[in-house]
Chain A
Amino acid sequence: AQTVTQSQPEMSVQEAETVTLSCTYDTSESNYYLFWYKQPPSRQMILVIRQEAYKQQNATENRFSVNFQKAAKSFSLKISDSQLGDTAMYFCAFMSWNTGNQFYFGTGTSLTVIP
């Protein structure tokens, strides 16, 4: 079974600072995909960034970037120049075609950006 672990239930960061959210996963698959989703107070789940396991280069989307360490099965999210609108729950997710296209989600990290 695939498992996704987010060990930081809550985090906070000062506005304009950088914060890193941790995610580890367990799988025997070699080809898979990883995602970070954001859930603001509105409850809407929004895709932030995705990473294909076969790609060595870390994905980047504007202020959001990942540190993908395949051997360590680690997939952390870095948010640079934090903004108040980044306050949200962040979920890490895993998917592999070999186990069906369902997503396995972590328990989430609640991030608060402090003005």
Chain B
Amino acid sequence: DAGVIQSPRHEVTEMGQEVTLRCKPISGHNSLFWYRQTMMRGLELLIYFNNNVPIDDSGMPEDRFSAKMPNASFSTLKIQPSEPRDSAVYFCASAPGTQSSYEQYFGPGTRLTVT
């Protein structure tokens, strides 16, 4: 299996622009998680989905952030408009989501820089 795939790996954009991060989970996994990692705040859970349904989006910092999972093999995290404080590494992770197999598998991350 190719593992969790994220694109792009690096994104540099100007303040005010729209940014879309993409994630393809491991095939057969039922749960998908979006995280943000910064030096100041560490690893933060933004939102997670079970069976394509958003379960908890309380970690989404504000209305500028939105996430979708239109099907089991694809999710997006969108920031509109972007701000310099959104600069971070964004990780997507997936998990089988069963009682016997629940560990999360992380993608390589997207390093976002907003200037």
Q: Which residues of A contact B (CB under 8 A)?
A: 33, 35, 37, 42-47, 50, 91, 95, 97, 100-103, 105, 107-108
Which of B42, B55, B104 lies in contact with A103, CB distance below 8 A? B104
Q: How many Å lie between the Cα of A41 and that of B95 in the bound state?
A: 23
Which of B97, B102, B106 lies in contact with A44, CB distance below 8 A? B106
Chain B neighbourhood of A46, CB < 8 A: 106
Chain B neighbourhood of A105, CB < 8 A: 42-43
Which of B89, B104, B105 lies in contact with A43, CB distance below 8 A? B89
Chain B neighbourhood of A101, CB < 8 A: 31, 48, 50, 95, 97, 102
A-B contact pairs, 20 of them (CB 8 A): A33-B102, A42-B108, A43-B89, A43-B108, A43-B109, A44-B106, A44-B109, A45-B93, A47-B103, A47-B104, A95-B102, A100-B55, A100-B56, A101-B31, A101-B50, A101-B97, A101-B102, A103-B45, A105-B43, A108-B43
Q: For B42, B55, B95, which residue has the most chain A Cβ atoms within 10 angstroms? A: B42
